[in-house]
C-alpha cells in the first residue's frame, strides 16, 4: 500500500534548541530508539578511544552503554566512549524526560518466542515487516501487499540476520492489502492466528510490531483496538513507516489479530475538531476472519507492481511537464530517457538559445509546446491501451483502477492544453 497511505516518519533534528515540551518528547523518542535498537547493524564504528570494530550488530542499549557483536566477538562501550553517531542516536548525555506517572500496561509482556516470529522484509524500493503464522498444517509468511509491490528483489531476514529463502507460490487476499507465502524451510517460531469467528473487539489491548522507521529492528508498540470493521481494525498503537506488514497481536494471548497496513491523515474540518478523528488514524487488515486467496507466483505479483509503477511514474512526469516551474525538478533527470522528458529538455535548450534574439516569439514556443503535449497525449493513450490489469490480484487491480482514472484526467488536461494553444 486509492493507494495505501504509507505510514510517515517525521525527521527530528537532534541538535536544535528545543522548548520544554519538545525536549521531553525528544527524550521519549530517544528512549524508544534505545528500546528498539537490538539488531541495528553498522559496517564499522570507531570508539572515542580510537578502537575500531567491524561488522557490528547491536544487542543491547541502556542509558549508560551499548553492547554489540562484532567480527571478533562481543564488546560493550560506555556511553562516553561511543562514536558520535551513537551518542546522538541514543541520546547519551541528553536531558532525561520529566518523569510522569507511569502509564499502566494493558498488555502482557512480549517473550522471545513472539519476537523471533517476526521478520524484516528488505526490497530494492523500501523495507517493511512480515511474520510467520500457522494456518492449518502450513506455516506462512504474512505481510501487507504494498510492502512487496513495486520491488524487483526481496530479502526476508530474521532477528539474528538469517535469510529465509524457500517459499511457495504467493497467495493474495481478495479484498485486502494482504499477502502470504508458504514457508518451505524451518523458521524459529510461529504465531497463532485469532479464530476466524472474530476475536477483535473495541477496547482489546494490542501490541503492534514491526521494522519501525525501516531501521532494520523489530519493536513493539502498545495500544488498543479503537474500531472494528468487516475487513479492518483501527488501533491507537503508534506505528510508523516500516511497521507496514507487521502483526497486530492480542495483548494477552499474543495471537495475530491483524496486519498493519495504512493510516489516514488528520482531518481539519469542523466536524472532526476536538475528536480523535482530527488526529492521524492507524489501521490494519483483520486476520481473525476467513479470506479468499488467489495464488500467483511471486514473480508475477512483483511484475504487476512494476507495471503499475511505470504508469504512476509516467503520470507524475506528465503532471510535472504541464508546470514550467517544475521543469528543473529531479523527476526530469530521473526519467531523462523518457520521450516527454527529452522533449521538455530540448524545449528548454531552444528557449535559452533564442532568448535575446530576434527570432524568438511566444507563438513559436507555444507551437513547440503544443507538439510536445500532443505527442505525449498520443503515447499516453497507447500506453494505457496496452495496460491490461483485469487479471491482477485484488490489491493491484484496485490500485490500477485508480491509476487509470488519474491518467484519464491527465489526458483530458493535455487535450485541453493542446486545443488552447492552437
Q: Can you give the pLDDT at residue 238?
A: 80
Q: Can you give the pLDDT at residue 18?
A: 40
pLDDT tens digits for 237-275?
887 666 889 999 999 999 999 999 976 654 444 443 443
User: Which grid cell is 115?
Assistant: 519476537
342/276 Cα distance (integer angstroms): 48
Check whether 345 has a pLDDT greater than 90.
yes
Q: Can you give the pLDDT at residue 41?
A: 81
Between 24 and 21, the more confident residue is 24
Task: Kindly give the residue spans of alpha helices, DSSP state H, lying in 230-326.
Answer: 298-321
Q: Which of 53, 92, 49, 47 is nearest to 74 (CA)?
A: 53
Q: Can you give the pLDDT at residue 44?
A: 87
Give percent of the chain above pLDDT 70.
Answer: 81
Q: Quote the mean pLDDT of the chain.
A: 83
pLDDT tens digits for 115-161?
899 999 998 888 889 999 999 899 999 999 999 998 998 999 998 88
- Domains plus CATH for the chain? 1-102 (no CATH), 112-295 (2.40.10.120), 299-420 (no CATH)
Helix %, strand %, coil % for the chain, to 5?
Answer: 35, 25, 40
pTM, rounded to two decimals: 0.69
Arithmetic mean of pLDDT, 35-52: 84
- How many C-beta atoms lie closer than 10 Å to residue 181's C-beta? 23
Q: Can you give the pLDDT at residue 143?
A: 96
Q: Please calculate the CA angle 302-177-205 and round it to the nearest 5 degrees.
A: 135
166 near 184, Cβ under 8 Å? yes
| Burial class for 229, CB neighbours closer than 10 Å (0-12, 13-18, 19+) | exposed
3-class SS of residue 394: helix
* Residue 359 DSSP class: S
Arithmetic mean of pLDDT, 205-227: 79
pLDDT tens digits for 295-331?
999 999 999 999 999 999 999 999 999 999 999 999 9
Q: Can you give the pLDDT at residue 99?
A: 47
Reported as half-sphere exposure (CB side, CA atoms, 13 A), residue 168 has a value of 14
The pLDDT-based confidence of 38 (bands split at 50, 70, 90) is confident
Check whether 104 has a pLDDT greater than 80.
no
Q: Can you give the pLDDT at residue 42?
A: 85
Arithmetic mean of pLDDT, 24-53: 79
The pLDDT-based confidence of 22 (bands split at 50, 70, 90) is low
Check whether 400 has a pLDDT greater than 60.
yes
Which H or E run includes 379?
helix 362-385
Amino acid at each position: 500500500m486509492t493507494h495505501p497511505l504509507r505510514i510517515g516518519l517525521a525527521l527530528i533534528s537532534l541538535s536544535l534548541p528545543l522548548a520544554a515540551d519538545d525536549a521531553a518528547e525528544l527524550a521519549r523518542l530517544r528512549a524508544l530508539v534505545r528500546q528498539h535498537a537490538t539488531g541495528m547493524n553498522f559496517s564499522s564504528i570507531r570508539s572515542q578511544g580510537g578502537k575500531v570494530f567491524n561488522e557490528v550488530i547491536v544487542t543491547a542499549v541502556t542509558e549508560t552503554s551499548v553492547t554489540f557483536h562484532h567480527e571478533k566477538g562481543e564488546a560493550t562501550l560506555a556511553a562516553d566512549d561511543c562514536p558520535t553517531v551513537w551518542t546522538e542516536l541514543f541520546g547519551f548525555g541528553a536531558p532525561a524526560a520529566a518523569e510522569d506517572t507511569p502509564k499502566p500496561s494493558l498488555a502482557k509482556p512480549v517473550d522471545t518466542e513472539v519476537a523471533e516470529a517476526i521478520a524484516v522484509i528488505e526490497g530494492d524500493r523500501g523495507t517493511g515487516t512480515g511474520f510467520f503464522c500457522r494456518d492449518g498444517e502450513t506455516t506462512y509468511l504474512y505481510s501487507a501487499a504494498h510492502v512487496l509491490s513495486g520491488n524487483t528483489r526481496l530479502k526476508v531476514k530474521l532477528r539474528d540476520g538469517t535469510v529465509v529463502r524457500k517459499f511457495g507460490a504467493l497467495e493474495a487476499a481478495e479484498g485486502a492489502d494482504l499477502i502470504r507465502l508458504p514457508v518451505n524451510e524451518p523458521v524459529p517460531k510461529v504465531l497463532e492466528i485469532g479464530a476466524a469467528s472474530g476475536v477483535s473487539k473495541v477496547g482489546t489491548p494490542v501490541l503492534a510490531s514491526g521494522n519501525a522507521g525501516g531501521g532494520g529492528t523489530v519493536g513493539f508498540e502498545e495500544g488498543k483496538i479503537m474500531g472494528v470493521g468487516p475487513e479492518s481494525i483501527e488501533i491507537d498503537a503508534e506505528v510508523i513507516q516500516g511497521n507496514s506488514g507487521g502483526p497486530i497481536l492480542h495483548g494477552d494471548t499474543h495471537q495475530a489479530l491483524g496486519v498493519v497496513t495504512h493510516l489516514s491523515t488528520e482531518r481539519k474540518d469542523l466536524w472532526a475538531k476536538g475528536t480523535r478523528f482530527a488526529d492521524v488514524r492507524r489501521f490494519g487488515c483483520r486476520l481473525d476472519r476467513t479470506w479468499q486467496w488467489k495464488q500467483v507466483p511471486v514473480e508475477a505479483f512483483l511484475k504487476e507492481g512494476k507495471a503499475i509503477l511505470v504508469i504512476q511514474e509516467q503520470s507524475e512526469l506528465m503532471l510535472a511537464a504541464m508546470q514550467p516551474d517544475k521543469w528543473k525538478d529531479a523527476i526530469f533527470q530521473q526519467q531523462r530517457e523518457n520521450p516527454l522528458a527529452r522533449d521538455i529538455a530540448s524545449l528548454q535548450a531552444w528557449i535559452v538559445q533564442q532568448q535575446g534574439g530576434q527570432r524568438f516569439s511566444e507563438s513559436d514556443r507555444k507551437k513547440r509546446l503544443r507538439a510536445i503535449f500532443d505527442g505525449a497525449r498520443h503515447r499516453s493513450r497507447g500506453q494505457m491501451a496496452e495496460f491490461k490489469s483485469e487479471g491482477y490480484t485484488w490489491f493491484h487491480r484496485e490500485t490500477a483502477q485508480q491509476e487509470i482514472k488519474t491518467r484519464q484526467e491527465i489526458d483530458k488536461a493535455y487535450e485541453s492544453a493542446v486545443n488552447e494553444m492552437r
